Amino acid sequence: MKTYDDPELQAIAIKLTSDDPGIRRVAVMDLVDSGEPEAVELVIQALQDPDTKVRQEAAKVVDEFEAEDMADALISALNDSDEVVRNSAAHALADLKDPAAAEPLLKALESSTDSFVVSGILRALKPLRNLGAQSPALARLDDPDPQVRREAVGVIGWLKQPENLPALVKTAKNDPDPDVRRSATGALVYANPQQVGQALVSLLNDEHWQVRCEAANSISKLDHQAAAPALMEATKDDLWQVREKAVDALGKLGVVEAIPVLGECSKDTMSNLRKAAIGALGTIAHKDGRPYVVTALDDPDPDVRKLARWAISKLDAAA
């Protein structure tokens, strides 16, 4: 057995050789507190322990160490018989963002059926942007588990491949889970406005408010000018959160025709919305917006007043 200079680490190493899995487990728990870089070796050793509980405990502490030092051990842990271990390994590998991890992750994805693990692996694959993940992710868009579908949307969104847009649009419009629809709506931003503009406009009428918010966001990110009338309509949404995003988007798009509706929003009872409206009027910096901004200089909310002063300076600069 290897000996360590640090007496604490040495004591842990000795405990890790115990026949009692309970003692080995407690030793792994103690590893976290060791500042020695060599402690990683013992974590790797514990990840291969015959006892599940010990491996689980080791999996819990992996994120306290540099994943780089134990990439191989983590990759083999992806095939662990225990779900907790597999999932922690996928998480730690995701932090690693090492392109070399893509291959084993894809292999592990093939053999995984558990939704929890599948979503963990997909999450790890996402930042690697490996094209090999495309077809498995597309296939998982029809998974019965919404968590898996959401992670699959994430993978596809990060890949930014134009050919995946129809699948993403379909998910954004038709998925039964609002959270999945929201992710898909947010993922559409890599497209050309012509390709997804219509879909995003229709998503402004989704039954779930977070999807509507995300649709307004995506429209503003894509600078989809043709959506202006729909956004103006969305400033009358039942929920102020949606109104706020629509107002933000109108400001970013610089829609001069929207000034009357923005003025309407600058008188809303919800101060967050007033703030967004004044911000948008300042961004557009068109003289027609000035009366609303001047009124807002006396707003009861100090944040709105502050923003109104900023908007006045923008209007003055534009004049």
Nearer to another protein, 18 or 192 (CB): 18
Interface with another protein (CB under 8 A), residue total 10
The answer to whether 4 and 31 have CB atoms below 8 angstroms apart is no
- Considering the rule CB under 8 A, would residue 248 count as an interface residue with another protein? no
The answer to whether 149 and 179 have CB atoms below 8 angstroms apart is no
- Considering the rule CB under 8 A, would residue 103 count as an interface residue with another protein? no
- Considering the rule CB under 8 A, would residue 139 count as an interface residue with another protein? no
Q: Which of 14, 23, 32, 270 binds another protein (CB under 8 A)?
A: 23
Question: Helix or strand or coil: residue 224?
Answer: coil
Q: Which residues of 221-230 are buried (b: 16+ CB within 10 A; e: fewer)?
A: bbebeebbeb
Question: Under rule CB under 8 A, which residues in 40-79 are in contact with another protein?
Answer: 57
Query: What does the block give as tokens for 245?
Result: 């995003």
Nearer to another protein, 21 or 136 (CB): 21
Q: Which of 6, 8, 14, 26 binds another protein (CB under 8 A)?
A: 26
Stretch that binds another protein, among 22-30, 64-72, 159-167, 209-217 (CB under 8 A): 22-30
Amino acid 313 reads: S
List, in order, residues 6 or more apart from 306 with CB less than 8 Å away.
Answer: none
Q: Return the number of other C-beta atoms located less than 10 Å from residue 177's C-beta.
A: 15
- Considering the rule CB under 8 A, would residue 32 count as an interface residue with another protein? no
Stretch that binds another protein, among 24-32, 97-105, 237-245, 306-314 (CB under 8 A): 24-32
Minimum CB separation of residue 28 from another protein in Å reads 10
Nearer to another protein, 57 or 80 (CB): 57
List, in order, residues 6 or more apart from 141 with CB less than 8 Å away.
Answer: 149, 152, 153, 156, 167, 171
The answer to whether 213 and 220 have CB atoms below 8 angstroms apart is no
Q: Which of 13, 16, 27, 117 binds another protein (CB under 8 A)?
A: 27
Contacts with another protein by CB under 8 A lie at 15, 20, 22-23, 25-27, 29-30, 57
